[in-house]
């Protein structure tokens, strides 16, 4: 079952899935499960999170939700561990470099339209310096940061919930006695 962070919905049963089903199970996108991303998740799960919430927001604002979902799934389509990557002399740092790598990989593998290209290439704005051309790109800039924060804090939130549940069980057991 595919789920986005903070969502209880099975995404395979959601209208969202129809927009990405031709790419989500591709071997290249599935390979992203091998890479840790934002402490507590994989790059695949992060991309799924970004894709889904990007889709929902763009749909709500009547933007191109299909392009937003597809580009969200492909925005981090690179196959190296960013913490272990050794930069070559004169090469850009990861923040500026990985959108270009992701775009190259995405265009080599899938048919990508202009909005999707802009979303992938500029999802790290303002660090990428070039201004986004489409409103959908500005949405992913925010959604990507939101998902990264949620993914970073997810283990701590789960731990707090477990602790609260344990305390509630102890409290209930004490009251019953």
Summarize pLDDT for 36-57 with one digit per residue, the tens: 766 678 899 999 999 999 999 9
The predicted structure's pLDDT at residue 165:
59
Per DSSP, helices labelled H in 25-128 are 27-30, 43-60, 65-74, 94-109, 114-122
DSSP 147: H
What span, in angstroms and rounded, lies between the C-alpha atoms of 78 and 103? 9
What span, in angstroms and rounded, lies between the C-alpha atoms of 26 and 12? 15
For residues 68, 7, 126, 134, the Cα torsion angle rounded to the nearest 10 degrees is: 20
Tokens of 38: 């934002």
Residues 6+ apart with CB under 8 A from 63: 57, 135, 136, 139
Size of the chain in residues: 177
Please tell me the pTM assigned to this model: 0.82
> Which residues does the chain have with pLDDT short of 50?
none
The angle that helices 94-109 and 65-74 make with each other, rounded to 10 degrees, is: 110
DSSP 126: T
Query: Does the domain at residues 11-81+94-176 carry the CATH identifier 3.40.50.150?
Result: no
φ and ψ at 41, to 5 degrees? -140, 180
């Amino acid at each position: 079952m595919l789920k986005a962070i903070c969502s209880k919905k099975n995404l395979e049963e959601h209208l969202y899935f129809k927009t990405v089903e031709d790419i989500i199970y591709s071997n290249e996108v599935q390979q992203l499960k091998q890479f840790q991303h934002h402490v507590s998740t994989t790059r695949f799960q992060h991309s799924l999170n970004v894709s889904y919430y990007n889709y929902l927001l763009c749909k709500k604002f009547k933007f191109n939700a299909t392009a937003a979902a597809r580009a969200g799934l492909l925005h981090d389509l690179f196959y190296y561990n960013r913490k272990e990557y050794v930069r070559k002399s004169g090469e850009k740092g990861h923040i500026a470099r990985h959108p270009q790598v992701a775009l190259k990989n995405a265009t080599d593998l899938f048919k990508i339209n202009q909005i999707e290209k802009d979303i992938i290439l500029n999802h790290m704005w303002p660090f990428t310096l070039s201004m986004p051309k489409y409103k959908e790109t500005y949405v992913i800039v925010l959604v990507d940061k939101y998902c990264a924060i949620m993914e970073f804090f997810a283990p701590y939130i789960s731990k707090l919930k477990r602790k609260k549940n344990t305390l509630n069980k102890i409290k209930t057991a004490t009251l019953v006695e």
